[in-house]
Structure 1
């Protein structure tokens, strides 16, 4: 596809926690938009919160995106850009569009409490913007954007997903944009970065809509063009509340051990979007993706659907690749199809360890429900004799031999097959015991039967 450098989007995670599902979905949608139009995808680490930002979180975010297969064209860290923020802050201070505020936290809390009690809009209209102290004469304070408290204007933007959204300018008050010249706050740093990086479309969660109005005022104060905005629907838990640690696992790392990256990508691609079919390759997603077709309503996190999607990808894997993914070298290649056709989560592979490990036996499991333990063990010994005399090249020949044994044992097939299943797998439920026997081979099958029959003295 031809490059379209005018399309520039960004993902801007904060390294104050591990990469979570919501951020992964937002990254995917940004990536799809950029790649589908030949645009540029920027990864920007927003690490200005020195107290909460940690290297381990940044490493987790970058590693998680790479694991998902999401690449980027440009990379930035906010802590490497402090001079740019200071320059823009000075520009606003010099023009009178921003000012220093010296109200204490206690004063601001009291103001907020009073507004709540009176039912007034919660905003701070600062007298410092109209006095000489607002130029920094009193020393340390915070920097606020000067907002017209008497404005009758409505800040309006056309959301690419939701249509027209508006809010009264005066209700924002004189909001803070920096702790000082060296420490910009979120809304200010984001705008300066988006301007400097020529971001054309800001695609993010709907919980950022309230920030958008403040950011538009900052764009205007800096006399810069406002990008287009698209606010994605929230991801909801099963109780239809916002997905959180209380009602769901939110960290991507929690899912890595159970699911393939392709399955997670396929699943989260549907969280707020409808494609033509349920299993989609990345190329197919790129062909169908349209920003304006993203849903407005919240998307429910359905782990059963994720299990199903993962199962489809697992079934398509080559046996050697599957063994590599689950990290079990001892698994016979012949066992892989029997495992993958029953697997939803990768960690469930341990339920089929009998293909490469001798199971632990107990009397209750070996006993057929319509017979005594002694009768069940005796039947198993007869099964052993049949297996011992088989060439082990023809499954149906073995099945006929066991069926004949069942006929002369009163016609009860369970008496023959149940103890055999238990001896080979140590499980009540498993694939066909004859299939297991052929995966294990004649020698191992006889060995397990011998171990099982030792349960009686």
Structure 2
């Protein structure tokens, strides 16, 4: 049974970088008919907020990324404490008391000597009396996992064969001085006890994965299949991390990006396959292959989402938007035809309102000074609505005969005066939907 998980911290909103991880794990689980767990990393009581828990769920539901169950790490603290005790019993867990300043000085000294800046395990040489004295002086220490200094190897689902010398890595801190369990331990315990079989996450976790593999083995668990996707950059290759706060899913949603536009892009971005708009999450599942993704940094440009959104809207049936169209005040009798006419000429749904303003005469006509008399004369020749599909042709032919104008000189000023735009739907279709006679 394939089991995957998405483990966000409810300390902020999901952004596009988080989404990539969530989507890959979701698609792997669904393609295998397995289980997708939403696991909230809420062990930090100061920063974790219920509003972010609700927002994470809301964003995933908006995208159609449904989970099979929710787990909260804050409700599993007893399991982490038990794992910590097991590691102590095995001699793989030790308390250390260095201050951040002392650790920084040690790192600088090692670098000056040409050595890797890893923790020197000085705490292992402390006697019980020395530990007690340090606790009395400094309070509780941090708890570090003692790595076996050997090569840690695995075949990564994206990066291929990985080999990391554990001696080049500091023994990781798993429990802070204040007793808070850190992600590295909590994740290992959860993955092991929840039977997680596949873990996909960012390539910035590769070293972390190496240490977690040893922790999993020390606790007697089965090591999952790991895959590390590339990190996103901006369109020019610049670091995206500083901008991720402005690329939250709810911000993109507020800008009108459609779920399938976002999912279609993220399911292919950085892979060997072209980006293609898909009609449903099921179609994404069917075409997904983690092995098709590369390790190079992946350029992301949010502007690419808008042409994709336009294409999604072009394929959207009326039933899916009828409530939003009704909310604009479009009469039921013309609403289906209204959607047929405007959906090929909008980028986001919000632009529907502008076209309804055109049809109900709520825009200020845009007329060049040199065309004002011509447009006034043409409007005077136009009868009152209702109009039909033949109105535009009959009217412009009559205007041509009277004024002598033809071609662009005839059609463009009239289009601009009626719609306020130089391009858009066929004017025959626009006229057939006009609710009032246009006027200057």
- TM-score (norm: length of structure 1): 0.85
Give the structure 2 partner of residue 268 of structure 1. 266
1:28-68 deviations in Å (ceiling 9; x for gaps): 11111111112111110001122222222221111111111
Q: Which residue of structure 2 aligns with residue 455 of structure 1?
A: none
Is the 2:359–2:433 Cα contact (8 Å) retained in structure 1? no
2:198 match: 201
Q: Are the equivalent residues in 2 in contact too, given 1:100–1:133 (CA < 8 A)?
A: no
**In the superposition, relative to structure 1, how do residues 29 and 19 fare at CA in structure 2: closer, same or farther (>3 Å)?**
same
1:10 pairs with one of 5, 18, 25: 5
Question: What is the deviation of 1:398?
Answer: 4.8
Aligned residues: CA RMSD: 2.7
1:328 to 1:427, Cα distance in 2 relative to 1, 3 A? farther
In structure 2, the CA distance between the partners of 1:64 and 1:166, relative to structure 1 (3 Å rule), is same
1:226 paired with 2:223, answer yes
2:316 alignment counterpart:
317
321-330 or 301-310: bigger deviation: 321-330
User: In structure 1, what is the equivalent of residue 73 of structure 2?
Assistant: 78
Q: How does 1:219-368 map to 2 (within 5 A)?
A: 219-246=216-243, 249-257=246-254, 258-275=256-273, 278-280=276-278, 281-325=280-324, 328-331=327-330, 332-333=334-335, 334-361=337-364, 365-367=366-368
Residue ranges of structure 1 left out of the alignment (5+ in a row): 453-457
Any idea what SS the aligned residue of 1:246 has?
helix
2:403 alignment partner, SS class? coil
Aligned counterparts of 2:18 and 2:324: Cα–Cα separation in 1: 25
What are the residue-to-residue correspondences of 1:121-270 with 2, within 5 Å?
Answer: 121-133=116-128, 137-138=132-133, 139=135, 140-147=140-147, 151=149, 153-179=150-176, 182-246=179-243, 249-257=246-254, 258-270=256-268
Counterpart of 2:415 in structure 1 is 421
CA distance in 1, matches of 2:129, 2:361: 78
For residue 272 of structure 1, report the CA deviation from its aligned partner.
Answer: 3.0
Q: State the distance in 1 between where 2:222 and 2:386 align.
A: 80
> Partner of 1:42: helix, strand, or coil?
strand
1:404 aligns with 2:398: yes
> Cα distance 1:352–1:114, how it changes in 2: closer, same or farther (>3 A)?
farther
Kindly indicate whether the alpha-carbon contact (under 8 Å) linking 1:100 and 1:135 is maintained by their aligned counterparts in 2.
no
Q: Report the alpha carbon displacement of residue 70 of structure 1 after superposing the two structures with TM.
A: 0.9
C-alpha separation in 1, matches of 2:326 and 2:402: 45
| Aligned pair partner of 1:439 in 422, 426, 433 | 433
- Verify the 8 A CA contact 1:42 1:75 in the aligned structure 2: yes
C-alpha distance in structure 2 between counterparts of 1:34 and 1:216, whole Å: 21
Q: Distance in 2 between matches of 1:12 and 1:137?
A: 37
* 83 and 398 in structure 1: CA distance in 2 versus 1, 3 angstrom threshold: closer
Deviation at 1:368, TM superposition (A): 6.1
Unmatched runs of 5 consecutive residues or more in structure 2: none
Contact 2:261 2:308 in 1 (8 A): yes
Shift of 1:155: 1.4
In 2, Cα distance between equivalents of 1:296 and 1:40: 26
Distance 2:299 2:48 in 1: 30
Matched, 1:43 2:38: yes
Number of equivalenced pairs: 429
Q: Could you report, residue by residue, the CA deviation over 1:255-310 in whole angstroms, capped at 9, with x for unpaired residues?
A: 11312212211121112334587233433332332333333323322445422322
Separation (CA, whole Å) in 2 of partners of 1:356 and 1:191: 60
Per the normalisation by structure 2, the TM-score is 0.88
Answer yes or no: is the 8 Å Cα contact 2:267–2:288 preserved in 1.
Answer: no
Instruction: Pick closer, same or farther for the CA change 1:300–1:354 going to 2, 3 Å.
Output: same
Distance (Å, rounded) in 2 between the aligned partners of 1:327 and 1:312:
22
Contact 1:191–1:219 (CA under 8 A) maintained in structure 2: yes
**Matched position secondary structure for 2:132:** coil
Distance 1:312 1:374, change over 3 A: closer
Aligned partners of 1:327 and 1:304: how far apart in 2? 29
Query: 1:82 touches 1:182 (CA, 8 Å); kept in 2?
Result: no
**The residue matched to 1:403 in structure 2 has which SS?**
helix
Contact 1:262–1:313 (8 Å) recurs in 2 = yes
Bigger mean CA offset, 205-214 vs 409-418: 409-418
| C-alpha separation in 2, matches of 1:426 and 1:192 | 62
C-alpha separation between the residues in 1 aligned to 2:182 and 2:407?
A: 74
User: What are the superposed Cα offsets for residues 418-445 of structure 1, whole Å, 9 maximum, x if unpaired?
Assistant: 554344334444434443221014xx12
Structure 1 moving runs of 4+ over 6 Å: none
* 2:376 aligned residue: 377
User: In the alignment, does 2:100 pair up with 1:110?
Assistant: no
User: Rg bigger for which structure?
Assistant: 1
| Cα distance change, pair 285–221 in 1 and its aligned pair in 2 (3 A) | same
**C-alpha deviations, 1:164-217, integer Å up to 9, x for none?**
111111111332111159421121111111111111111111111121111122
